[in-house]
Structure 1
Amino acid sequence: MPYIERRGGSIRVKWWGGEYVLGAEGRPTKRKKYESASGPEPGIPFQSEDEAYNYGLDREHEVRHGTHIPRASSKTPMRDYCWMWWEAQDLRPMSMDRYKSRLRARIVPYWGDRPVGDITAWEYDAWKKGLKKAEAAKEISRDYVNQLLSLFNLLMTDAVVKYKLRAESPIIKHGRRGRYVKAKREAKRPMEMQVLHALARNAYAVWGFAGWVCVWTVAFTGLRPPGEMWGLRREFASPTWPASDPDSDRRADAADRYGPGRMPALRVQWQQQYVDSQRILVDPKYDSHRTLVLPPFLHEMHAALLASHDSEWVFPAIQGGEMPRSWYDSYWSPIRDGWPERSGRKDMERPAIPAVEEMAGKRFYLLRHGHREWLDEDGHSRTAIETRMGHEVAGVEGLYSNLTPRMEAAIAQSLQERWESFWGMGIWWAPPFPSSLPSGPGDVETPRSEPDQA
């Protein structure tokens, strides 16, 4: 039972918190460990002994029913909790870096001195309102606000459910209220071969034959750019795989189904990510290791590309080696937005590259979206499509379904037909085959066969 202490003009209540004092060897003794309070809330004293006694009874009720939160635990500063929580996560390196960045930038500076158990719904709403104001002032993006709110929700949910530092979360989610407002989605248009050709032609001018092949590869395989593209090693490309696979069991399993003499295919085994400014190879997103059959034309492109360089990467940088972290600025921007002609010094001359207006402001990743659209248009099964895109089919359908060689052959055939139908029009430019890489970023050589601007 709780008991009351009077100290001067204040009232204090003590109750057993359900724990025992630890002995010298860290083992519990028979001495009970008591908790105490001088008021129902910090800074608010008890007004009577009855109020204090009832407060103690409530706490002992929580102890008996397993819902009690020790006061010492609830007083853990957010600064300590955030980093203990982060250390306990087991996520991919890039996800860990993103969480660390968000904690360091916005959450710890704002909440660091507050005890985990003292954060109220009022305080959370005020913080959320401040983030929305920063978004309205263009200081931070809407996506970043949503990411911060999602991370804070994870922190509070784990504090309640997993670590027992709070009785409930301060984040209360209501159903939709008021007038429905449709969420804004990225404007997309069907991926047309003419647009891809314009991008590939610009990529050749910027990056050489590797750029030409890169655009068509993303569009015709659905690889996740840029990580899975830059993580594609020579031994997992269609001209060499599966014979070159370092895993003997996987090599043996794939040999009867894939290969240049059967169904040419590349293996998605890795993606590249930056961790602490260092590039490393990690498993693909969602552990989506998969085999992607290639239409014959793309297999021939990859064979020519590998013959044109000796890099360990299928798509090396302009000067060889790994792709730079600034790929979107130094490669994708001129491929999408073009660049003006430059003349003067002989070794600095370059032709103008026209912008691809249909892709203005768009992401390279949309080429992967376009691949999914093509698979849907061609009527392939959901199992074949989701497996190729690196997704899992949920439920019983996913349990019973399986990607068969006939499904893969049908995909390769439909993609080849799409390619031949486009080139059958007979008006499109193609680069010499194969081609060496340009000399360096910003100092590209004029292609040996200058593309027409028609």
Structure 2
Amino acid sequence: MPYIEWRGNKCRVKWWAGEYLENGKKKYESKSGFDDEETAYNYGLDREYEVRHGTRVVKSRGDILMSTYGLEIWLPHQGLRPESVKRYRSILRAQINQQWGRRRVNEIETPEYIAWKNALHQKVERKEMARTYASDILTVFGMLMIDAVQRYELRTVSPIPPATPRRGRYVKKVRKRKRPLAMGPVYQLAVNAYTVWGFTGWTYIWDAAFQGMRPSEMYGLQKIYTAPAWPASDPDPEQREESRERYAKTPATRVQFQHQRVDGNQTLTDPKYDSHRTLVQAPFLTAMHTALAASHASPWSFPAINGGNLLGASFGRDYWWPIRDGAPAREGRWDTARPAIPPVEEFSVGGWPIYRLRHWMKECLEEEGHSDTAIETRMGHEIAGVRGLYGNLTLKMEQNIVEAQQARWDRFLPGGGRPLDAPVSHSSPS
């Protein structure tokens, strides 16, 4: 039975740990800090129950610092992608280890966790921390504690209490309000991109708006995976033959990689969520890619201004921000001078990232009435449940997308629009 003793104004409980010392005497463990004997006694009974039923965690197993557990034991075993590893490591170092790093894994109690969680929510309310970042912190901590119990047996239970019905004042999640977007502002972005980056920029904006690739996927896009070269240029024989049969009359881009830094090195990795996919192209976009591929010798579809790759460039500062927010005229040599660039208010107001073009493509596809299977596959998403299990992207679905996107382009710029090599800035209809 547990043994209770008082130390000052706090109560301590001792219980048999189920082990024996070298001299044959029982080995006891203890915990102090209780305010009353009943709570301490019940705690001891619970520990003895674990001993009797073989669920006890040896105290020395959980006697490891959180800073060591998170970074050296837990994170390397997660099998995450490089970007996720980078994000989790940042959260562990900047937030979790700052709060819990010097504590033992088996020491953290539920009241302490609740106080910390409330403190994070208060930071969100004071706008000292983004709501999504606070949520990510708590998510990572939750995974740490679940694995500490179930995978590594460093604790008997998690300090995170089970979910309960919501209490207190309801706080609606704040979503950034998207301004209505039509072809006019996208056209102006493309014109601005032409001023900043030449024909590569002009094509880049339209590609982002109609293909909907993630930025890292566009950074890693190579000519051999883009029409007109693809699929004949695909280095995988099986994929090449399969794609030739399906896309013989429908030009397309193959999303095969994303370009990102892994341990500081530029690396081509699988797309996010392994979302390898083929994106059919409308004729106007295929014409742009054909002209673009012939205009430079780089293996990248979208080389940087200096001829290198986009991952090594400061894309926000040198490309997107002047394209979105505008910039004053710049004098200098022929290769550095440029006219003034007007801001595009639909993007500059609110500081929208280029990701907004990817979302706009989805909005357009939904307006045009395409199926969820066609839309989510093009976005690189999976549909959960039975709908996703039985759904299948057909060639007819892809052809419908091509026809709708070409029609959208033709309605905005009748007759094919401006010459591909010389888009000119002017006020345009929306």
Residues 139, 15 of structure 1: CA spacing in aligned structure 2 closer, same or farther, 3 A cutoff?
Answer: closer
* Equivalent residue number for residue 8 of structure 2: none
* Equivalent residue number for residue 424 of structure 1: 414
* Equivalent residue number for residue 367 of structure 1: 357
- Residue 399 of structure 1 and its aligned partner are, at CA, apart by 2.1
Residues 245, 348 of structure 1: CA spacing in aligned structure 2 closer, same or farther, 3 A cutoff?
Answer: closer
Residues 62, 194 of structure 1: CA spacing in aligned structure 2 closer, same or farther, 3 A cutoff?
Answer: same
* Equivalent residue number for residue 305 of structure 1: 292
Q: Which amino acid aligns with 2:60?
A: A
Q: Which of 58, 66, 69 is 1:78 aligned to? A: 66
* Equivalent residue number for residue 68 of structure 1: 56
Are 1:160 and 2:162 matched, yes or no?
no
Q: For 2:143 and 2:25, how far apart are their aligned partners in 1?
A: 31
Q: For 1:391 and 1:383, how far apart are their aligned partners in 2?
A: 9
Q: Which of 97, 103, 112 is 2:86 aligned to? A: 97
Deviation per residue, 1:52-107 (Å, 9 max, x gap) = 8x876643421343432221122222122112101111010111011111212222
Residues 307, 381 of structure 1: CA spacing in aligned structure 2 closer, same or farther, 3 A cutoff?
Answer: same
* Equivalent residue number for residue 433 of structure 1: 420
Q: For 2:25 and 2:306, how far apart are their aligned partners in 1?
A: 68
Q: Which amino acid aligns with 2:413?
A: W
Q: For 1:281 and 1:451, how far apart are their aligned partners in 2?
A: 36
Give the root-mean-square deviation of aligned CA atoms: 3.1
Q: For 1:171 and 1:35, how far apart are their aligned partners in 2?
A: 29
Q: For 1:299 and 1:354, how far apart are their aligned partners in 2?
A: 28
Q: For 1:238 and 1:33, how far apart are their aligned partners in 2?
A: 79
Q: Which amino acid aligns with 1:127?
A: W
Q: Which amino acid aligns with 1:357?
A: E
Residues 20, 185 of structure 1: CA spacing in aligned structure 2 closer, same or farther, 3 A cutoff?
Answer: farther
Question: What is the TM-score normalised by the length of structure 1?
Answer: 0.83
Are 1:271 and 2:258 matched, yes or no?
yes
* Equivalent residue number for residue 346 of structure 2: 358
Are 1:403 and 2:383 matched, yes or no?
no
Q: Percent identity?
A: 48
Q: Which of 125, 150, 155 is 2:114 aligned to? A: 125
- Residue 346 of structure 1 and its aligned partner are, at CA, apart by 6.4
- Residue 15 of structure 1 and its aligned partner are, at CA, apart by 3.3
Residues 108, 310 of structure 1: CA spacing in aligned structure 2 closer, same or farther, 3 A cutoff?
Answer: same
Q: Which amino acid aligns with 1:353?
A: I
* Number of corresponding residues: 418
Task: Kindly report which structure 2 residues correspond to 1:216-295, keeping only aligned pairs within 5 A, or say none.
Answer: 216-224=206-214, 226-259=215-248, 262-295=249-282
Q: Does the CA-based 8 Å contact 1:271-1:283 persist in structure 2?
A: yes
* Equivalent residue number for residue 28 of structure 2: 36
Q: Which of 326, 329, 332 is 1:341 aligned to? A: 329
* Equivalent residue number for residue 14 of structure 1: 16
- Residue 353 of structure 1 and its aligned partner are, at CA, apart by 0.4
Question: What is the TM-score normalised by the length of structure 2?
Answer: 0.88
Q: For 1:101 and 1:379, how far apart are their aligned partners in 2?
A: 41
Question: Residue 74 of structure 1 aligns to a residue in which SS?
Answer: coil
Q: Which amino acid aligns with 1:141?
A: A
Residues 319, 20 of structure 1: CA spacing in aligned structure 2 closer, same or farther, 3 A cutoff?
Answer: farther
- Residue 126 of structure 1 and its aligned partner are, at CA, apart by 3.1
* Equivalent residue number for residue 27 of structure 1: none
Task: Kindly report which structure 2 residues correspond to 1:383-398, keeping only aligned pairs within 5 A, or say none.
Answer: 383-398=373-388
- Residue 287 of structure 1 and its aligned partner are, at CA, apart by 0.6
Residues 73, 410 of structure 1: CA spacing in aligned structure 2 closer, same or farther, 3 A cutoff?
Answer: same
Q: Which runs of no fewer than 5 residues in structure 1 stay unpaired?
A: 22-30, 435-447
Q: For 1:32 and 1:72, how far apart are their aligned partners in 2?
A: 20
- Residue 35 of structure 1 and its aligned partner are, at CA, apart by 4.8
Which deviates further from its counterpart, 377-386 or 270-279? 270-279
Q: For 2:368 and 2:2, how far apart are their aligned partners in 1?
A: 76
Q: For 2:194 and 2:95, how far apart are their aligned partners in 1?
A: 42
Are 1:204 and 2:206 matched, yes or no?
no
- Residue 416 of structure 1 and its aligned partner are, at CA, apart by 0.5
Are 1:414 and 2:404 matched, yes or no?
yes
Residues 109, 296 of structure 1: CA spacing in aligned structure 2 closer, same or farther, 3 A cutoff?
Answer: same
Q: For 2:183 and 2:24, how far apart are their aligned partners in 1?
A: 76
Which deviates further from its counterpart, 276-285 or 195-204? 276-285
Q: For 2:121 and 2:35, how far apart are their aligned partners in 1?
A: 36
Q: Which runs of no fewer than 5 residues in structure 2 stay unpaired?
A: 6-11
- Residue 421 of structure 1 and its aligned partner are, at CA, apart by 0.6
- Residue 179 of structure 1 and its aligned partner are, at CA, apart by 3.4
- Residue 390 of structure 1 and its aligned partner are, at CA, apart by 1.1
- Residue 135 of structure 1 and its aligned partner are, at CA, apart by 4.6
Q: Which amino acid aligns with 2:279?
A: L
Q: Does the CA-based 8 Å contact 1:15-1:56 persist in structure 2?
A: no
* Equivalent residue number for residue 444 of structure 1: none
Which deviates further from its counterpart, 238-247 or 161-170? 161-170
Q: Which amino acid aligns with 1:221?
A: Q
Q: Does the CA-based 8 Å contact 2:121-2:134 persist in structure 1?
A: yes
Q: Does the CA-based 8 Å contact 2:17-2:51 persist in structure 1?
A: no
- Residue 189 of structure 1 and its aligned partner are, at CA, apart by 3.0
Q: Does the CA-based 8 Å contact 1:265-1:293 persist in structure 2?
A: yes
Q: For 1:177 and 1:244, how far apart are their aligned partners in 2?
A: 59
